[in-house]
Amino acid sequence: MNSNMKKGKSNGKLFLVSTPIGNYDDITFRALKILRTADLLICEEIKPARRLLSHFDIEAVPVELNEHNESESAKNILMEILGGKTAALFSDGGTPLFSDPGHYLVELCIDNNVDIIPVPGANSLLPTLTASGLDIEKFYYFGWLSPKKEVRRQELNYIKKLNELIVILETPYRLKRLLHDILNTFGNGQFIVVGYKITMPGEKFLRGTVSEVLNYVEKQNLKGEFVLLIENRKFKK
């Protein structure tokens, strides 16, 4: 049994609220209810958070929690929660803590026996998988590659050895670079799928060999959020 379970429960709660990744219509009724009723709203960046809240006529002013102030801000938020307040941590887009700050706040809340309540919603990973046309019963989520050239090369060489459907995320401006890196590491024969601008205007699913997808991306000069799937299974498990 976790020793934290021996502590008294806090009256406060921390909700982890998923938000749309591009299309505001993807917000859930539950997410809106939490954002409208929570005592304290917590975001990564004020500007995109205010745009989201304003779109849904929510007038609350959120508190920033990001890589620049996470330690101090998380402790202050914890004190509010321990005082009985309900807090809602929401992402600029997608699921909180998934490549977002907030892990330290969650750790503090767990250590202090605060209820952590996830509110699921939109994400880019599952739509890309389901629309890929690939067998998605099992996959390997690698996440974000290192921006450092040598580390990135080592990561790709490691991935190449895996007999898996591999999922990679990257920043929008690195799409061409990533495809070039994969071409150099895996060769042209690899089948890939790029889920581009999921839920947004211009949403596309690009399917084909690395060079086919790369040629299209360069010709169209595509720059936007994306998820990359690499079909690296050499045999069925």
Sheet with 86-90: strands ordered across: 63-64, 40-43, 86-90, 13-17, 115-119
Q: Please measure the distance between the N-terminal and C-terminal CA atoms of the chain and give it in whole angstroms.
A: 36
pTM for the complete prediction?
0.87
Number of H helices, E strands in the chain: 8, 10
Kindly state the average pLDDT of the residues 145-162: 94
Kindly state the average pLDDT of the residues 29-50: 96
Tell me which of 6-10, 50-54, 148-152, 180-184 is least confident: 6-10
Q: Which CATH superfamily is domain 125-231 in?
A: Tetrapyrrole methylase, C-terminal domain (3.30.950.10)
180-223 pLDDT, tens per residue? Answer: 999 999 988 899 999 999 999 999 999 999 999 999 999 999 98
Q: How far is residue 169's CA from residue 138's CA, in Å, rounded to a whole number?
A: 17
Contact assessment for residue 229 and residue 166, using Cβ atoms and an 8 Å cutoff: yes
Phi, psi for 224 (deg, rounded to 5):
180, 175
* Rg value, the chain, Cα: 20
Contact assessment for residue 155 and residue 162, using Cβ atoms and an 8 Å cutoff: no
- CATH 3.40.1010.10 maps onto the chain at 3-119
Contact assessment for residue 202 and residue 224, using Cβ atoms and an 8 Å cutoff: yes
Q: What is the pLDDT of residue 7?
A: 56
Q: Is the pLDDT of residue 61 over 50?
A: yes
Q: Which residue has the higher pLDDT, 46 or 10?
A: 46
Q: How far is residue 165's CA from residue 163's CA, in Å, rounded to a whole number?
A: 7
Q: How far is residue 101's CA from residue 220's CA, in Å, rounded to a whole number?
A: 33
Sheet with 226-231: strands ordered across: 140-144, 165-170, 226-231, 191-196, 204-209
Kindly state the average pLDDT of the residues 65-71: 89
Residues 64, 65, 69, 71, Cα dihedral to 10°:
140
- CATH 3.30.950.10 maps onto the chain at 125-231
Q: How confident is the prediction for the chain on average, in pLDDT? A: 92
CATH of domain 3-119: 3.40.1010.10
Q: Is the pLDDT of residue 5 over 50?
A: no
Contact assessment for residue 186 and residue 158, using Cβ atoms and an 8 Å cutoff: no
Kindly state the average pLDDT of the residues 5-30: 86
Which pairs with CB-CB distance under 8 Å and at least 24 residues apart come from 214-218? 214/176, 214/179, 214/180, 214/183, 217/175, 217/176, 217/179, 218/176
